Amino acid sequence: MIRELIVTSDDDARRLAYAVVEGARPPVEHHHAAFEVRAEGAEASRLIWTTDVLPHAVAAEIRVRVERGAAEMKQTIESSARSPRR
């Protein structure tokens, strides 16, 4: 199990930062990430996910996980947007 610490959550800035503090596989010295949502016109937004990790040797494996997570979030958000609102 991976344990993460919420570093900061700022609703006004639409930003959330977190750090992995336990359980990362492969083991990491440092893993900090942030999500930020930016408006793109009146009807769209862009989610930016920035991740810093050490040692650099694990970056490729972490990148695969981030890309999969981003794809899952995109699918969930788009599916939710298509669902009729009640």
Domain count, the chain: 1
82, pLDDT greater than 80: no
pLDDT, average across residues 25-32: 90
End-to-end CA distance of the chain: give it in Å, rounded.
Answer: 36
Q: Output the pLDDT for position 27.
A: 87
Domain with residue 44: its CATH number is: 3.30.530.20
Range of the domain at 71: 3-82
What pLDDT is recorded for position 55? 95
Q: What is the pLDDT of residues 43-59, one digit of tens each?
A: 888 999 999 999 999 99
Global pTM reads: 0.81
For residue 78, the model assigns a pLDDT of 86
